[in-house]
Amino acid sequence: MRLLLTSAGISNASIQDALVELLGKPVAEASALFIPTAIYALPDGPDIASRVIRGLLGDPFCDLGWKSLGVLELTALPSIKKDYWVPMLQDADALLVGGGDCQYLTYWMRHSGLADLLPSLLRKTVYVGLSAGSMVMTRYGTTHDGHTLPTDSDKALGLVDFAIHPHLDQEQFPENSLANLEKLAATIPVPSYAIDDQTAIKVTDGIVEVVSEGHWKLFNA
């Protein structure tokens, strides 16, 4: 399983180098699918998704210069024949999963059938998460309550045995101070990585590595 779990996308050269290493080829020779689903549970979600695709929302993600880029909307998949979309997943070099609401994303990953495919899919395909798209793979997720799912719905898939707290000390998220995240980490029974927008967590077949040109902190369980 090859994962690149970012806070804000491919925000610096070190994170881009890690992506290229995981892909085993230049980005310009790789195909990607973008999953925007998590953002729809936030205000102005469709507009934000559009800006991510067009590269108008900060650090590169969809706009890295991929050989090809498709959009895979999880909420549509239960009503579409698997023969139409599963081969697209299997052929992609990278799966780009955007940010938003972890609980909403977790629900649709499972309801669409994607969650069941991930263990085999990620033997070949590189998973690249952004914010909630990263958190959903861990043991801890959040929700913004912009949906009608039951409050006790799962907020993460738990495919890796740690938690990620993105946007450390980001001025748009004043609650994400190091002190606040340390208190939060103390309530979670697995190690927690607090990472800023210049940091990512790289996972290669169970080996965890921090890739950073910024600030981060590991809190043990």
Q: Note the pTM of the prediction, 2 decimals.
A: 0.96
Question: Quick one: pLDDT at residue 195?
Answer: 98
Model confidence pLDDT, tens digit, residues 143-188: 998 999 999 999 999 999 999 999 999 988 899 999 999 999 999 9
Mean pLDDT, residues 74-101:
96
Taking the C-alpha atoms of residue 131 and residue 90, their distance in angstroms, rounded to an integer, is: 24
Model confidence pLDDT, tens digit, residues 50-73: 999 898 888 899 999 999 999 999
Distances (CA, A) of 81 to 93, 113, 114, 123, 204: 22, 12, 13, 23, 32
Q: Sheet harboring 216-219: ordered strands across?
A: 163-165, 192-195, 216-219
Question: Quick one: pLDDT at residue 138?
Answer: 98
Taking the C-alpha atoms of residue 178 and residue 55, their distance in angstroms, rounded to an integer, is: 29
Q: Please report where in the chains the tokens 């921090």 appear, as a residue.
A: 210
Question: Quick one: pLDDT at residue 145?
Answer: 84
Mean pLDDT, residues 68-97:
96
Mean pLDDT, residues 213-218:
98
Task: Please name each of the domains of the chain with its CATH number.
Answer: 2-219 (3.40.50.880)
Residue 173: count of CB within 10 angstroms of its CB: 13
Question: Quick one: pLDDT at residue 156?
Answer: 98
Residue 84's SS3 state is helix
**CB contact set of 50 (below 8 Å; sequence gap of 6+):** none
Average pLDDT of the chain is 96
Split at pLDDT 50, 70, 90, the class of 202 is very high
Taking the C-alpha atoms of residue 161 and residue 206, their distance in angstroms, rounded to an integer, is: 10
Closest CA to 38 of 80, 117, 97, 121: 97
Residue 16 in this model has a pLDDT that exceeds 90? yes
Residue 153's SS3 state is coil
Question: Quick one: pLDDT at residue 216?
Answer: 98
Question: Quick one: pLDDT at residue 74?
Answer: 97
Q: Which helix (H) or strand (E) holds 194?
A: strand 192-195
Closest CA to 213 of 95, 59, 97, 63: 59
